[in-house]
Structure 1
């Protein structure tokens, strides 16, 4: 299953690369920096979507393992916040 974050991330990455390239051709360093930042944000969004797909697949294939991992993470997070 393809997550919308992966699609949007890929689109943002392409737009950022085009913006970076156009800024380089025009000598506009501000546009280049914005393009690089947009491309990096797109990569991050795509990686987030891929991680979500992996978690969904794990939960579907091995629900008991997913439940165990969620329980342990919940316990750790609860212990961290209880100490504050």
Structure 2
């Protein structure tokens, strides 16, 4: 979607070019200067519109990447959960020992940080 500043800027730029050309042809210094001023305004407005379009496009791309990363993370989480559940079901005693060791290690870390 093209920003309206780009459209109005292009129109103002064209109008300024026409006005300055008419001023040059008729010898009217006022029309020539005013046309060039209007042309510069149109160019600036067009560039502003282009910048807004660029920022809007970058934001859309960032949102797409974030959504894709979120979906991928959910997929890997579900996959990891299934794998852990499978390992616990297959080796319950080893899982219990590992969980106990992890709990003991966390307890040491917490106790150690209080001293």
State whether TM-score is above 0.5. Answer: yes
Rounded to whole Å, the distance in 1 between the matches of 2:60 and 2:18 is 38
Unaligned runs of 5+ in 1: 64-84
Identify the structure with bigger relative contact order (alpha carbons < 8 Å, sequence gap 6+).
1
For 2:5, the equivalent position in structure 1 comes to 5
Q: Distance in 2 between matches of 1:16 and 1:6?
A: 15
What is the TM-score when the length of structure 1 is the normalising length? 0.73
Which residue in 2 is equivalent to 1:18? Answer: 18
RMSD: 1.6
Q: CA deviation at 1:54?
A: 0.3
Task: Name the count of aligned residue pairs.
Answer: 65
Query: Which TM-score applies when normalising by structure 2?
Result: 0.54
Other structure's SS at 1:2 match: coil
- The structure whose Rg is larger is 2
Query: Partner residue of 1:43?
Result: 43
SS state at 2:51 partner = helix
